[in-house]
Amino acid sequence: MSNKIPCKITLELNSTAYTGQDVQDVLPHFMTDYTTFVGLTWVPSAFGTEAFFISITIGAAIGVAQGFLSELGTDLYKWTKEKLLLLLKKKSAPEGQLIISWQDITVTIYIEKTDDILDILSKFNIIEAKALKSLPKKEVDLFPNDIKELFEDNE
């Protein structure tokens, strides 16, 4: 990626349902300019034993980094399809969160169906536009129905 905006990508898997081998299986097998972490964490049972959390931290304000998220989504799509979804589909009921943070706003997307992740990654431009419209709010929560409506409104 030519854009040198700092970015950190973290995938945390609940240690109750995932193992060190799962972490090894899902590690990207490519070089990246992004700081990347994949690991196990303890998660309260209220989140579910098969919970996962994907965090993307972009080291710039959303207005400065406009368009970066869509490019990043393209980069993450193949890895997600080839590695992450294969792992999650082995579980009975994985639910998670995709948390995207810029310097000035954080968007949390709640994921109930793992297949929704690819749809979300392919439409990061719509999520970015929603975040821009939400300023000066500092936090935006998007639940599955919100995402569905947001994507339908932009078709």
Tens of pLDDT along 49-99?
A: 999 999 999 989 988 887 888 888 887 888 888 889 999 999 988 999 999
Contact 42, 15 (CB under 8 A): yes
- The per-residue pLDDT for 73 is 83
User: How far is it between the farthest Cα atoms of the chain?
Assistant: 42
| Residue 29 pLDDT > 90 | no
- The per-residue pLDDT for 34 is 77
Q: What phi and psi, each to the nearest 5 degrees, are found at residue 14?
A: -65, 125
38 vs 12: CA distance, rounded Å = 6
Report residue 3's pLDDT band, with 50, 70 and 90 as the boundaries.
low
- Mean per-residue pLDDT of the chain: 87
* Amino acid letter, 132: L
pTM for the full predicted model: 0.88
- The per-residue pLDDT for 2 is 43
- The per-residue pLDDT for 1 is 41
3 vs 154: CA distance, rounded Å = 26
Higher pLDDT, 103 or 65: 103
- The per-residue pLDDT for 79 is 85
Beta-strand runs (E) in 26-126? 35-41, 52-58, 96-101, 106-111
Contact 84, 44 (CB under 8 A): no
- The per-residue pLDDT for 111 is 93
| Residue 133 pLDDT > 80 | yes
Report residue 31's pLDDT band, with 50, 70 and 90 as the boundaries.
low
63 vs 95: CA distance, rounded Å = 30
